[in-house]
Structure 1
Amino acid sequence: MTYAFVSMFFAGFTSVIAKMGLTGISAELGLTKRTLFVCGFVLMFGAWTVPVQHLAGVNSHNLLWLGISGLSTALSWIFYYKALKEGDVATVALIDKGSVIIAMLLAWLLLREVITLRMVAGAGLIVAGLLVLTKR
């Protein structure tokens, strides 16, 4: 769980800093530049932390699902940056976090993960927050 909280912390910074970086340029150009930085940082991280012998363990199943995940990430980022360019950071970020509900449902359907009452209550609060922040 510690990694999830650290991720949350940096994700919060990401939206505000990205909005600042989009000043005077298109969302598409901003996303492209940001993605180049992400690619470079992730490649350096992988080179530093992944043992070379692990590369042989990658199979077509891994590549298929990671490729689909990459496509999904790309589409998410494209629309996120377009929304960020047009809207308020807090509203866009909260709507994006509604993806928790989609992830929960997909994990239940595809991975057979259990949805608990606590999770349903949390999802309900997310939906309530979405409704409050998106109403004009």
Structure 2
Amino acid sequence: MNMWWIYALLSAVFASLTAICAKIGISGVNSDLATAIRTVVILFVAWGIALSRGELKGIADLSKTNVLFLILSGVATGLSWIFYFKALQIGKVSQVAPVDKLSVALTIVLSVVILKEALTIKMAVGAILIIAGTLVLIF
């Protein structure tokens, strides 16, 4: 089995736990404050892992393009979390999480348009099913 599959599955498990824990944790708390607290925790965890594995030596090898797009990715992640927590605060997890997962279908489209990845029939059908499933869950 390829390791990417295991990591992707673990990502899905932890994303699911993120939604459940966040919904419980934001009860009576401003969602922006909750996002800020969560971000500090993530900061310590990510840097702790990088430090413990000796991976900071790679910083010197980063190109300007690497840095620019990692910064843009961080901004996009931050905005995603802010809007996700706002949605969780006022909506049901069972509806917010599937809408958030529309990002999968959108990512498929953007990977074809921006990264010039090949679109297969299987990927197109999968994206359509994700969109259809999301619509079923929210309406």
TM bracket, shorter-chain basis: over 0.9
Structure 2 equivalent of residue 119 of structure 1: 123
Of 5, 9, 18, 1:5 maps to 9
Of 22, 26, 30, 1:22 maps to 26
Structure 1 equivalent of residue 68 of structure 2: 64
The 2-side partners of 1:130 and 1:113 are apart by 24
The 2-side partners of 1:62 and 1:4 are apart by 23
> Which structure 1 residue ranges, 5 or more long, are not aligned?
none
Structure 1 equivalent of residue 83 of structure 2: 79
TM-score normalised over the length of structure 1: 0.94
Change (3 A) 1:72 1:113: same
Contact 2:26/2:89 (CA < 8 Å) preserved in 1?
yes
Structure 2 equivalent of residue 43 of structure 1: 47
Deviation at 1:110, TM superposition (A): 1.5
- Where 2:114 maps in the other structure, the secondary structure is helix
Change (3 A) 1:58 1:68: same
Deviation at 1:52, TM superposition (A): 4.0
Of 98, 106, 117, 1:94 maps to 98
2:131 maps to amino acid = V
| Superposition CA RMSD, Å | 1.1
Of 106, 128, 135, 2:132 maps to 128
The 1-side partners of 2:124 and 2:94 are apart by 23
**Matched residue count:** 135
Deviation at 1:55, TM superposition (A): 1.9
Whether 1:108 and 2:112 are equivalent positions in the alignment is: yes
The 2-side partners of 1:10 and 1:96 are apart by 15
> Could you tell me the percent identity over the aligned residues?
38
- Where 1:25 maps in the other structure, the secondary structure is coil
The C-alpha deviation readout for 1:99-136, integer Å capped at 9, x for no partner, is: 0111111111121111111111111111111111111x
